[in-house]
Chain A
Amino acid sequence: MTDKGSKKILKIIIPYVLIPAVILAGVFVFSEKAYAWISLAVAILSVGLFYTTFERKKEKARKIVVIAVMTTLSVVGRFVFAAIPGFKPITAIVVITAVWLGGESGFLVGSLSALISNFYFGQGPWTPFQMLAWGLIGLFAGYLSAPLKKSRLLLSLYGIFAGVAFSLIMDVWTVLWYQGGFSIRLYAAALLTALPYTVSYAVSNVIFLLLLGEPFGRKLERVKIKYGV
């Protein structure tokens, strides 16, 4: 079989055979933890599916490098703002990248930032969910690019939404894994204990987006015009 032919078959096998098989097998095997298994499998496979479509595309070297640069900045940003407790610019950088360079770049910068910062802070079962959460925050910011570029108010609102959505996504997993099934009470308790963090994420996201949005956007725009990324 040719290389191309086998790739085409893979394209059909992965979404239509492999993914349902993985999930059904998990439901059968892990009866009481089936929901946790499904959510983990879906997180990993959806990030993986996104990566395979990216892998297949022909990409200019400049785009690749800019994605690497933005990912680095979002990881290194932690150290720059270490003087101010609780301020991490990852979400802001992901959103800015997505708004100016498109949702796909946003997804990549978000998910890879999660993966790489965990090199320093420790990998865990949370890694795929962080990758998915930040990736999706970037992807949606890319879809909303036009209004987010125009209005600072919408950009701030998106910052709040991103902070809250991140907590919501991460805590779903916590509950499913711990309890087996979904329990709204435990979810509420988890959200409540995470509330200080959620609020500080949301506030710092807004501050970062307002402070960095304009100047970073101009810089990215300039690079786009000057070099044609």
Chain B
Amino acid sequence: MSEILTLPLRSLKSLKRFEDYNPIAVFVFFAGAILPAMFCLDIILLLISFAGGMSLLFSLKGKAAAKSLFLYLIVPIAGFILNPLFYHNGKTVLFLINDTPITFESAFYGMSAGLMITAVLVWFRAFSLIMTSDRLLYIFGAASPKLALILSMTLRYIPLYTRQIKKIRMASKAMGLYREDTLIDRLRGSVRVFSAMVTWGLENGVITADSMSARGYGIGRRSRYAIFGWLAFDGLLIAASAILCAGVLVGAGFYAFGFEYYPEISAVPISAASCLCYAAYGILVFIPVFINIKEGLTWRSLQSET
């Protein structure tokens, strides 16, 4: 009996999508994935990074990510075309425009830099999708409970104030104070609404503060409410991200890989060390997708068991 019960439960414990890992672990992962892409201008590394980031976007958003793929590819193409118009360094002159040389090196640099920007943007897009405000709040709370308090208050106030603004706007409209004929009118109307909002917000806030003090805010150490737990898998994710990222960075420091762009494009020759670095980074950026696929398979096998 216990055999039957413990088996699915144990697998259930590991049954977490990447998004559901402890936010601190997820944050460390993102830092590890983004850092090399942000500061190593190596086209192979950047392609790996872009592929990893896009695969995560696909697993988060499904087919909707395909549309953005083309949008993201515009940046490196624009870099390829625009950079040589501004920069004329490089040996290989392709052609001349008004006696200024257009060089291949400059175009290639533009493309690499564009790919770097794109890769980082893709990663931050995934970061924004996963790191919802409650998750970021949890991370901030770990570092600074007081800041987390201010942040959570603000996040609660935003919808509250938005509603209140609507009310004030309707009231001032009903009183005939609100016209939208000219720009000046609109500005004055908005200022009036905003001004009422400030008074309301401050008065309301002071009442909240008094209520907080009455309940003993500021006595003793500030603790926090943590909604996310820790599992062994979270520690594993942190360790893997840190070790793989550190490996790539050490490789970059010792020129195991990398590119020279000017005056002539020259790559560090492919060696065992460079392959190791690329492989490490490849494993790192595909961790989320790997976790999600594994989760999908476990889920299916569990379904077929029952």
Contacts and interface: CB of A to CB of B under 8 A. Distances in A.
B254 to A, nearest CB: 9
Interface residues on B, range: 35 or more
A68 B206 contact: no
Contacts of B41: 32-33, 180
B185 to A, nearest CB: 10
Interface residues of A, number: 64
Contacts of B209: 60-62, 64-66
A58 B218 contact: yes
A83 interface: yes
Contacts of A30: 39-40, 252
A197 interface: no
B155 A69 contact: no
Interface in B209-260: 209-210, 212-213, 217-218, 249-250, 252-253, 258
A29 B136 CA distance: 29
Interface stretch (B55-63, B95-103, B195-203, B298-306): B195-203
A29 B183 CA distance: 53
Most buried by A among B183, B190, B213: B190
B190 A84 contact: yes
B131 interface: yes
A64 to B, nearest CB: 6
Contacts of A71: 150, 154
Nearest to B124: A124
Contact of A178 (B113, B165, B180): B113
B117 A75 contact: no
Contacts of A66: 202, 205-206, 209
Given A61-B212, A84-B186, 18 more contacts: A29-B39, A29-B252, A60-B218, A61-B213, A69-B204, A69-B205, A71-B154, A75-B154, A76-B197, A83-B186, A83-B190, A84-B187, A87-B187, A89-B194, A116-B154, A123-B124, A178-B117, A211-B191
A108 interface: yes
Chain A, interface SS category = helix
B151 A112 contact: yes
B203 to A, nearest CB: 8
A189 interface: yes
24 contacts: A26-B39, A36-B38, A37-B39, A51-B143, A52-B144, A59-B146, A59-B218, A61-B209, A62-B209, A65-B208, A67-B150, A72-B161, A79-B162, A79-B165, A80-B193, A80-B194, A81-B194, A84-B183, A84-B190, A112-B147, A125-B38, A179-B113, A220-B202, A227-B206
Contact of B147 (A54, A58, A80, A83): A54
B206 A62 contact: yes
Given A32-B41, A79-B165, A125 B120 contact: yes
A102 to B, nearest CB: 16
Given A72-B158, A72-B161, A75-B154, A61 B218 contact: yes
Interface in B271-300: none
A108 B258 CA distance: 40
